Structure 1
Amino acid sequence: MGKLSSAIAGEEAKLRLGDASPFSFESLIELAEAKSRMPWFAPTAGPAEVLSQINYDAHGKIKFDTSLALFALGPGQYPVVFSHLGTYFRFPVTMHVVHDDMAREIVFDDSYFDMPADSPARRLPPGNHFAGFRFQESRSGDQRQLDWRTNDWVAFLGASYFRAIGDQYQYGISARGIAVNVAQASQLEEFPDFSHFWFEAAADTRSSAVIVYALLEGPSICGAYRFVLHRDKGVIMDIDASLFLRRDIERLGIAPLTSMFWYSNTAKPTAIDWRPQVHDSDGLAIWTGNGEHIWRPLNNAPRTMASAFIDNNPKGFGLLQRDRDFDHYLDGVHYERRPSLWVEPLGDWGEGSVQLVENPTDAETHDNIVAMWVPKLAAQTGQNFRLRYRLHWQADEPFPSPLARCVATRLGRGGLPGQDRPEGDRKFVVEFQGDGLAKIPFGVRPLAVLSSSRGKLSNVFTEAVPDGKQGHWRAQFDLSVEGREPVELRLFLQLGDEALSETWLYQYHPFTSEPLASAGQESSGLISSVKAV
């Protein structure tokens, strides 16, 4: 068995640990591959009649005793606390601690948790009731001197979902280990689970990194994951994943991101809510393999929409929260502080597409947005994928374009002041700001390079926004279109042969009385293909 350090041995007095057995990432990969060749059996959940009573409020009252936290005495800076099963987290997850290449299971015990005397969790039968975990802030404090017992910075909870705070100390957007058949009409979406976690004891007490391993299991896929989590300004995660397919998958989503977009000032329905905007993310940013920077504002679509942005070896993509002005939200939950999440591929990802799925929602309680990488290569039974990528949880994308960026998208009635406004025509005002636009000579206007997948464009012009801010310009145009199928718009600013701005893409859904398209009907945009599902 390898010898446990005194610090890890000290955990044994607090947490019940099982027998030691050899462990390595290579052996975990072998286990995932072996399981992929075996029949899949759904994990056993706790009794539904009890779990259904551990709702959001009841679950929030079940607190892990921080005095029992893994690594509370070291090694490393960041203690681990555990989450209990509940209505939304029904499947138990097995936890292990690793030291000197030996793993020991952390055996569940009710005494680890403080809960009210009448908590429905007390009626669960004996067994493993761990649902997830959190890493707490540093025991040695940070620049804000946060109490580690009450502040955490990363959480893994539910299926393969996980999230982290950004440099504004806020949770928001989530990531997933994998996405299987999101918005796929021919197959139901699957939600594979991280069924086992292993926490590696830190070798250096001063290290700002922690290492976690995970086993992913689902009906169509098995996987082995290695997470190296860095707590710095925001959070950075280096992820190494080996995936093995049990059966064919129509849409395999790599590095999937999940967020919420209810509405923004772009197209807010009248009096839908007292707040000006409600969203965790306001747009999809892509840095393509050929170096183009793309900004695609999000929609609360009238029906589920899936857009594919074809690429080869993308440099990165992410769901961002660009609008950081409190007055644009006016909410005490501080949507303006929600982290952006950027995916940086490490190595060759080949051909495929960044895919964006937008689902309709009528409330802020639903995560209705998914962004992910979908390989061009068909995901078939017996295939395996080895992928490495880095996740950046911070306020902004880590590799911003030197070009001017889109700062606002506004819609209104088409036509010109003092003239008849054609019914159904839509005016677009797209604002850009950046150093390149600030250098335009006085009296010179940049060109709006504009195109649409259908419809007629008119009244196109650019002008400096009259707010006294250098490099703040807007492009305006009208779109006249018939029918209700979406329109793909593309725009950037140019002077001579030089592009001055990133590329703005937008999917416009006309407001008409015509019937919706049937499921499966397709239309093609200039960069994205749009599929109504």
Structure 2
Amino acid sequence: MFDRLLNAPLKDTSSMLLTLFLSCSTGLTAGRLSAEDPCLAVGSYKDLCRLAEHLSTQPHQPRASLPAALANIAYEDYCSISFRPQRATWWGKSPTYFETFHRGFVQRDRVQIFTISESETTAIPFSKDDFVYGGSLDAATVPDDLGHAGLKLLHTLEGASEAQELLTFLGASYFRGRSGDTRYGTSARGLAINVALNQDEEFPYFRAFWVVRPQPGDRTVEILALMDSRHVSGAYRFQFAPGSQESRLDVECQLTFRSQPEKIALAPLTSMWMWGDGLQGPPRDRRPACHDSDGLLVRQQVKAGQPAHEWTWRAFARQSYPSVSRIAVDKLTGFGLMQRNRAFYHFDDHNARYDLRPSVWVTPTTPWTDGHIELLELPGAHEGIDNIAAYWVPGGSQAQSKRLTLAYSVAFFAGDHKQQSYVSRATDLRLDRHPGQRTVDLEIRFSGPAVAEMAAESPIQIDTDALRAKVLSKRSERTETGDRLVFLTVQLLEDAPAELAVQLLDGKRVLSERFTYLCPPQTPEFVYPAVYTRQE
């Protein structure tokens, strides 16, 4: 049955467009260190859970202020502040070490950082000696007790000659990871509150981190984090396993709510999609595509107690307004924002190298049932602003729980999900609109062993569903490489975008993932600033 997706414009578009870009400017006061600071008593995740629970009984504290010289600093001057590598904690003493981020520009939150070594907790104080101040910023205007903005973890992978930056925590509850063979792209967050509603979103933030010093031979690094916001206090434990082909974070968290928000979003992912399959870019930008990821992939158990799983692929689309789509899920077994197309010629960008951006996949290790995956797509002004978000919205008692305990993993890797190796995937989409006729021709390419192994003369069923549209014709062709091209002609019945779904079957045997797409009647119009087109 076709999963009906909610797609509707949101009223508060101006704040919505900025939240994903400027979210790291939110937070609250993380007080200066004192001998009585309870953070110094945290030596384990259990200790942190007790601290977070106690914090939830206290009134929420306002954000820390930022000196004017740093609050008003230009982006270029902020980027000119660089950390001195030899000042990093454990530099030269361990294959894993970390640096800190300087506060300034939109990085306003004051964050405390500690290390835990042999059950001893030690504060990492802010020091101007850790940084090189370039640009126009006068280091004398920087307070000696400024505090940190976040941290970055560096690790020397097996067989590598030098360390690479593989994980960062910076801004609100954002974190980014990558494997050795990818670059930073899609980000993750600890939690989102009241996202995609007609009100201001609340951004919880990590106000303190504890990095546990790894022992010789350890393959993971443990990082504890204390979350805080108006509605919630939370304890997080991250176990980071860096890798050349895949880096993974195992996440445990306990959330205690001061008051119940209207909506919570778990394991949020944030990305960027400007144009690509189904949408052309600006006339003066020669790049065929511009995106950190090209679709949302969802894996769910079809019926409780049965081993069968269903894969749903939602190719990204941009409307001229912020839109929200929902995919109902009985039992979630995974979801992610994927950079499926990794051919360099698909992007033709020597600078951004979008072909090297990672896919990011969330796997629950505690039951996530009776909820939905929500996809937020914003128009986006340019590629410097993240305009895509996906997250799990729980239902039932989990959505109203005073205390919530979760466990899941977040993996960063190149390309497709390895467990999807047999089922055929939608790897290309082309649209041809007919002005004045309200019809659209779609060409969808399905690739993978399930269709490649089918004989050329074997019939394949094309199962389609359409909401606010009618499928006028459908057929498929086998290519020389064994792929299947599916051709649809669709008549759009309303002014609102049509919701389409396509899946290939051989009798009752599923051959492909379930391709879904939000297709507007007309090509959305966008104004791209000239400064962001590469040919200006």
* Partner residue, 1:297: 315
What is the SS of the residue equivalent to 2:380? Answer: coil
TM superposition score normalised by structure 1: 0.86
Partner residue in 1 for 2:364: 345
Q: Give the C-alpha shift of residue 65 in structure 1.
A: 1.8
Q: Deviations over 1:40-73 (max 9, x none)?
A: 12221212x3123433322222122221211124
- The residue aligned with 2:44 is 24
Query: Residue 526 of structure 1 corresponds to which residue in structure 2?
Result: none
Displacement of 1:121 in angstroms is 5.0
Residue 58 (structure 1) aligned with residue 77 (structure 2) = yes
Check if 1:249 corresponds to 2:265: no
Q: 1:164 aligns with which of 158, 162, 177?
A: 177
Change (3 A) 1:120 1:366: farther
Match of 1:43 in 2: 63
The aligned counterpart of 2:376 is 357
**Alignment match, 1:221:** 232
Q: 1:12-56 CA distances to partner (integer Å, 9 max, x unpaired)?
A: xxxx99896452211211111111122112221212x31234333
CA pair 480-22 structure 1, distance change in 2 beyond 3 A: closer
TM-score, length of structure 2 as denominator length: 0.85
The C-alpha deviation readout for 1:247-288, integer Å capped at 9, x for no partner, is: 222221101000001010322156162211000000000111
Contact 2:179 2:242 in 1 (8 A): no
Match of 2:425 among 393, 396, 405: 405
* Mapped pair 1:508 → 2:519: yes
Shift of residue 381, structure 1, vs aligned partner: 7.5
Supply the AA of the counterpart residue of 2:386.
D
Count the aligned residue pairs.
480
Superimposed CA distance per residue, residues 96-121 of structure 1 (whole angstroms, 9 cap, x where no aligned partner): 11123231211212112121384245
Q: Which amino acid aligns with 1:192?
A: P
Q: Cα–Cα, structure 1 residues 341 and 246, in superposed 2: closer, same or farther, change >3 Å? A: same
Partner amino acid for 1:302?
S
Aligned equivalents of 2:314, 2:42: Cα separation in 1: 47
Q: Is the 8 A contact 1:247 1:382 kept in 2?
A: no
Q: Which has the higher contact order (CA 8 A, sep 6+)?
A: 2
What is the 5 A alignment of 1:53-452?
53-74=72-93, 76-116=94-134, 118-120=136-138, 122-138=140-156, 142-145=158-161, 147-148=162-163, 151-185=164-198, 187-203=199-215, 205-232=216-243, 233-269=245-281, 271=283, 273-290=285-302, 291-332=309-350, 333-377=352-396, 383-395=402-414, 396-413=416-433, 423-452=437-466
Q: CA deviation at 1:208?
A: 2.5
Question: Please, which runs of 5 or more residues in structure 2 have no aligned partner?
Answer: 1-32, 303-308, 525-536
Change in Cα spacing, 1:363 to 1:289, as seen in structure 2 (3 Å) is same
Distance 1:453 1:486 in 2: 9
Identity of aligned residues (%): 29
DSSP-derived class of the 2:124 partner: strand
Q: Conserved in 2, the CA contact under 8 Å of 1:159 and 1:192?
A: yes
Could you tell me how far 1:443 is from its partner in structure 2? 2.2
Separation (CA, whole Å) in 2 of partners of 1:508 and 1:251: 27
- Give 1:409 deviation, angstroms: 1.4
Q: CA RMSD in A?
A: 2.2
The structural deviation recorded for 1:464 is 1.4
Contact 1:250–1:379 (CA<8 Å) still a contact in 2?
no
What is the deviation of 1:424? 2.1
- Answer whether contact 1:445 1:463 (CA < 8 A) is retained: no
> How far apart are the structure 2 equivalents of 1:397 and 1:503?
15
Offset from partner CA, 1:454-503 (integer Å, 9 cap, x none) = 222112111113xx212x01111111123321211111111222221111
Partner of residue 488 from structure 1, selected from 487, 494, 499: 499
**Quick one: distance in 2 between partners of 1:501 and 1:380?**
33
Is the partner of 1:445 in helix, strand or coil?
A: coil
Unaligned 5+ segments in structure 1 are 1-15, 415-420, 514-533
2:114–2:121 contact (8 Å) kept in structure 1: yes
Residue 54 of structure 1 contacts residue 121 of structure 1 at CA under 8 Å; is this kept in 2? Answer: no
